[in-house]
A = this chain, B = another copy of it.
């Protein structure tokens, strides 16, 4: 893939603005996501943030769904599965919480599969497939709830539950018991 070559052998515009790579597009999309939320993370806005026409994105990515999957992969990229299963899942939660609507992006993308399968496999090796699936559904689902709840509370639509982290930990313990 061209975008994995650090210094392109093909000519790049030198004056003013560099040509974008796939990674630039994903980074731009994650920037828009974190600043405005998934609702406003449109192809047109991502293009705008890169200083490019919307149609230019389709040179890098087949459609929006694919871009969302790549964003999800990046969000969970640094999480590693260890023998400390509970610790790994707390790490996964933290990674999703670190970006606005992160859990929702991972949820919709993992539905259409692409990168969470890797995570699921690594987990399944340690606890079996049934438990791995159950744990992932719970972690992503509870974290999504957490983010939506906090957003609603931040906007004053709801009273803030002060113990969402505790709720998460206790539910996880129930499954792992």
Please give, as numbers and ranges, the residues of chain B lying within 8 Å of A133 by CB-CB distance: 142, 167, 171
CA distance A137 to B113 in the complex (A): 19
Among residues 118 to 177 in chain A, which have CB atoms less than 8 Å away from a CB atom of chain B? 130-131, 133-134, 137-138, 140-142, 144-145, 148, 152, 158, 167, 170-171, 174-175, 177
Find the residue from A113, A133, A134, A145 having the highest chain B CB count within 10 A. A134
Whole-angstrom CA separation of A145 from B120 in the bound complex: 14
Partner of A130, one of B134, B140, B158, B174: B174
Q: Which residues on B sit within 8 Å (CB–CB) of A36?
A: none
Quickly give the copy total for this chain: 2
Interface size on A, residues (CB 8 A): 23
Residue of B nearest to A148 (CB): B111
* B residues less than 8 Å from A134 (CB atoms): 138, 142, 171, 174-175
A145 CB contact (under 8 Å) in B131, B137, B138, B175: B137
Chain B residue nearest to A130 in the complex (CB): B170
A112 to B174, Cβ gap below 8 A?
no
Whole-angstrom distance between the Cβ of A41 and the nearest chain B Cβ: 16
Min CB distance, A158 to chain B, in Å? 8
In the complex, what distance in Å separates the CA atom of A142 from the CA atom of B137?
Answer: 7
B112, B140, B148, B170: which contacts A141 (Cβ < 8 A)?
A: B140
A-B pairs with lowest CB-CB distance, top 3: A137-B141, A134-B171, A141-B141
Subset of 11 A-B contacts with CB under 8 Å: A111-B145, A112-B148, A113-B158, A130-B170, A131-B174, A133-B167, A134-B174, A134-B175, A140-B141, A174-B175, A175-B175
